[in-house]
Structure 1
Amino acid sequence: MSAGGIRVERDGESGVAVVTLDRAEKHNAITLEMARTLGEVWRGFRYEDGVRAVVVTGAGGRAFCTGVDRADAGRVPQPSSPYAIDDPLLAIGPKANDLWKPVVAAVEGMACGGAFYLLGEAEFVIAGRDATFFDPHTTYGMVSAFETVLMAQRMPYGEVARMALMGSAERVSARRAYETGLVGEVTEPGGALAAARTAAAVVASYPTEAVQGTVRALWAAKEAARTAALSHAPHLVALGNLPPERQAELFTGRGGGFRLR
């Protein structure tokens, strides 16, 4: 199945579904349509007993995801209150859609910015050796709030702080991401998806009630801190972000996007 820039493949024998961000020509940047489709996909899996584990990845091999499509982000109306913000990516992850089946992320190439909404809600991450992780928000006059909260659940404080504050100047390698706990396995370039499928198939072969209960228990361990931290994010973003036109100037002035290395 392919719809709204999202491709879904199901393997009935293994019980594994693969969700692919299918917009390789735009480095798998997420449009508003893709965000809506992702939510629908995750919610739909709750009713599919044949899907017992999920892999999420990006098409093309050059990027897992580079966050929200900037053209679409500018079309999201925002409330005037500094204590509220409508983030188009806030509900693109499985946990945000009440899915407690295990999710494995397979990363090749760049994973940056809004990609952390998906990585932060995966059970574990497998990356090709050439993968890189970075958070460009501060470079373009934007507060990294939701992303840093999610990454702070997975990585040491200092590592998250360095990545977020250094912006697009800091590229975290797959090896360093492994050393700091963001990535659980590093493969040869191009091997992340196969390794993720294998791991997901192992998990899917176990009794599903036990697996989902374990996932829920793991999330319960950090849920209170995560919820409290996320409650501060909207007004930090609203008060700290430069106006959209200034963000656009910085974005254009620094090359108009992300360079692949």
Structure 2
Amino acid sequence: MSDDLKVEYSGAVATLTLDRPDSRNAIRLEMYRELPGLLRGIDDDPRVKVLVVRGAGTKAFAAGADISEFREVRADAESARSYNEQVAAAEQALEGMAKPTAAMVHGYCVGGGCGLALACDLRFCDTAAQFAITPSKLGLVYSLESTRRLVDLVGPAQAKWILFSGERVDAQHALRTGLADAVTEPGDLAEEVYGFAELVSGRAQYSVRAAKDIVRRIVAGQRRDDAETTELRNASFDTEDYAEGVRAFLEKRAPEFTWS
């Protein structure tokens, strides 16, 4: 694994850190290449129930793609096509994880960094957070999938404002428009994120992952139950966690779920 990506484990929570603090965690092409396999390993790890994605240090989640590489890795249409495919694969791998994901955003969350944050299920940020998507400042075009994630969160008008202007959006603006899900003081961000991750880790994981799958289907346009969603719901009654949830409720105690 690249020295620029770091994975740590604490109980049922994994943390993936973009670890280039001297460059505000700007994302190199090699990092994008490694992310799909790395995320697949986390998703397959039975120890892990929630993934937190963050940047190293306190200045940035990620200040975007590493533009210093662009003359080499995006020199022309052919190399740019390959580069864009790697970025898309990384974002798809993060968005497609079965397990819940949360972006912990402190400081700058710009361009490619914002792309990764948008691919997470939730975004927690501190009051110093600054979001921006900047293709209009570089003469580039944002992908349809990345734009769709933005529109799903903030709606078409706000998405146009962000993309047309390329300007930064502060934490309170992000919270009002749905780009962020919670805002805290900088010193409280880790407690907020990991407190939520621990809470979700203690819930019935079959329920959590089924809910994520069903929400994804709704966002993609599904409006009626089909055979797969019906089976998801019906199968929950055969899990030990369902039996434990009922027992715990009747015995007036906290449930101890075991499905992983």
Is TM (by shorter chain) over 0.5? yes
Larger Rg: 2
Tell me by how many angstroms 1:90 deviates: 1.1
Report if aligned partners of 1:94, 1:100 keep a CA contact under 8 Å in 2.
no
Could you say what secondary structure the match of 2:53 adopts? strand
Tell me by how many angstroms 1:201 deviates: 1.0
- The aligned residue for residue 72 of structure 2 is 75
Q: Residue 143 of structure 2 is aligned with which of 136, 142, 145?
A: 145
- The aligned residue for residue 165 of structure 1 is 164
- The aligned residue for residue 175 of structure 1 is 172
Query: How many pairs align?
Result: 219
Distance change (3 Å), C-alpha of 1:144 and 1:97: closer
- The aligned residue for residue 109 of structure 2 is 111
CA distance in 1, matches of 2:185, 2:25: 21
Could you say what secondary structure the match of 2:30 adopts? helix
Q: Residue 203 of structure 1 is aligned with which of 187, 197, 200?
A: 200
Distance change (3 Å), C-alpha of 1:217 and 1:189: same
Distance change (3 Å), C-alpha of 1:101 and 1:73: farther
Report if aligned partners of 1:101, 1:212 keep a CA contact under 8 Å in 2.
yes
Could you say what secondary structure the match of 1:159 adopts? helix
Report if aligned partners of 2:106, 2:125 keep a CA contact under 8 Å in 1.
yes
Give unpaired runs (5+ residues) of structure 1. Answer: 226-261
Can you list the C-alpha shifts for 1:36-62, whole angstroms capped at 9, x where unaligned? Answer: 222222110122111000110111111
Amino acid at match of 1:123: D
Distance change (3 Å), C-alpha of 1:52 and 1:176: same
| 2:88 counterpart of 1:90 | yes
Distance change (3 Å), C-alpha of 1:55 and 1:20: same
- The aligned residue for residue 60 of structure 2 is 63
Distance change (3 Å), C-alpha of 1:149 and 1:195: same
Q: How does 1:24-39 map to 2 (within 5 A)?
A: 24-39=21-36
Q: TM-score, normalised by structure 2?
A: 0.77
Tell me by how many angstroms 1:94 deviates: 6.2
Report if aligned partners of 2:95, 2:119 keep a CA contact under 8 Å in 1.
no
Distance change (3 Å), C-alpha of 1:73 and 1:218: farther
Can you list the C-alpha shifts for 1:180-215, whole angstroms capped at 9, x where unaligned? Answer: 011111000243233111111111111211111111
Percent identical: 28
CA distance in 1, matches of 2:190, 2:15: 9
Could you say what secondary structure the match of 1:89 adopts? helix
CA distance in 2, matches of 1:73, 1:215: 35
Question: Taking CA–CA contacts closer than 8 Å with sequence separation of 6 or more, which of the two structures ends up with the larger relative contact order?
Answer: 1
Mean Cα deviation higher: 50-59 or 146-155 = 146-155
Distance change (3 Å), C-alpha of 1:177 and 1:10: same
Amino acid at match of 1:28: N
Could you say what secondary structure the match of 2:90 adopts? coil
Distance change (3 Å), C-alpha of 1:193 and 1:73: farther
Report if aligned partners of 1:28, 1:65 keep a CA contact under 8 Å in 2.
yes
Report if aligned partners of 2:94, 2:120 keep a CA contact under 8 Å in 1.
no
CA distance in 1, matches of 2:217, 2:134: 30
Query: Which has more helix, going by share of residues?
Result: 2
Tell me by how many angstroms 1:139 deviates: 1.3
CA distance in 2, matches of 1:191, 1:23: 23
Distance change (3 Å), C-alpha of 1:46 and 1:110: same
CA distance in 1, matches of 2:100, 2:94: 13
